[in-house]
Copies of this chain bind each other. A is one copy, B any other.
Amino acid sequence: LTAALRLVDERGVDALSMRRLAAALDIDPMTIYRHLPDKAALMRGLVALVFDELTLPPMPGASWQDQVRAFAHAYRTLARAHPHLLVYMITHAEAASNAALAAGEYLLAALEGAGLTPRRALLAADVIVDFLNGFALAESSGRLGQPGERRELLELLHGVPAHQYPALRRVLGALDEPEMMSDFDAGLNVILAGIEAA
């Protein structure tokens, strides 16, 4: 699994094949099948391995907002450590059962501390996780990772009659490139404010 993860991290998911993994381990491809039933099991193993890296710092006494922030940063750090696996992790999260329990406990304990009802705590947890997944995916798939990545949108706007898309022009025209960067902490604060309002 660690050899497979190295292949994925260094060269992307497409570089992980049973045959290349075998070559990296200097064994016959079919030998892998004595340890795992098929490639799907290999992928599930990678997801479990990576999610187990999630380290949630205990924050006794901290505000529920800071606990949620700690969770969010831990999750983002994990996502950035394995950008090539992220899509697979999100769509096959069920393979990370143990880490999912620990993550759920951490997040729901924080939201209970905010005084939310069970129904609203679960709702808030879903909103947070959906935002984290959406942000991490945008970040890892090239969109909005660093300044200048909004440039292609600006170039599109240049190639189109000037009276079209006025709001888009006003907003983007008022900002310089660093300001157009997607801001993880500011986005998280929007969601925290929304939870507080409830």
Q: Report which A residues bind B (CB closer than 8 A).
A: 87, 90-94, 97, 100-102, 104-105, 108-109, 112, 118-119, 121-124, 126-127, 129-135, 137-138, 141-144, 152-153, 156-157, 160, 164-168, 170-172, 174-175, 179-180, 182-183, 186-187, 189-198
Residues A134 and B141 in contact, CB atoms below 8 Å apart: no
Chain B residues contacting A175 (CB-CB under 8 Å) are 118-119, 122
- Please give the distance in Å from A165's CB to the nearest CB on chain B: 4
Q: Which of A157, A172, A186 has the most CB of B within 10 A?
A: A186
Could you say which of B119, B126, B143 contacts A179, with CB atoms under 8 Å apart?
B119
- Residue of B with least CB distance to A118: B174
Residues B141 and A126 in contact, CB atoms below 8 Å apart: no
Q: Please report the C-alpha to C-alpha distance between residue A166 and residue B118 in the assembled complex, in whole angstroms.
A: 13
- Residue of B with least CB distance to A186: B123
Chain B residues contacting A87 (CB-CB under 8 Å) are 87, 91
Given A87-B87, A112-B170, A97-B156 contact (CB < 8 Å)? yes
Q: Please report the C-alpha to C-alpha distance between residue A133 and residue B135 in the assembled complex, in whole angstroms.
A: 9
Chain B residues contacting A144 (CB-CB under 8 Å) are 126
Residues A94 and B171 in contact, CB atoms below 8 Å apart: no
Residues B190 and A198 in contact, CB atoms below 8 Å apart: yes
Residues A156 and B101 in contact, CB atoms below 8 Å apart: yes
Q: Please report the C-alpha to C-alpha distance between residue A123 and residue B191 in the assembled complex, in whole angstroms.
A: 12
Given A108-B171, A190-B191, A193-B198, A134-B123 contact (CB < 8 Å)? no
Could you say which of B91, B112, B167 contacts A137, with CB atoms under 8 Å apart?
B91
Q: Please report the C-alpha to C-alpha distance between residue A87 and residue B135 in the assembled complex, in whole angstroms.
A: 14
- Residue of B with least CB distance to A98: B156
Inter-chain pairs besides A101-B157, A123-B186, A126-B144, 5 sampled, C-beta below 8 Å: A102-B165, A118-B171, A129-B138, A130-B131, A190-B197
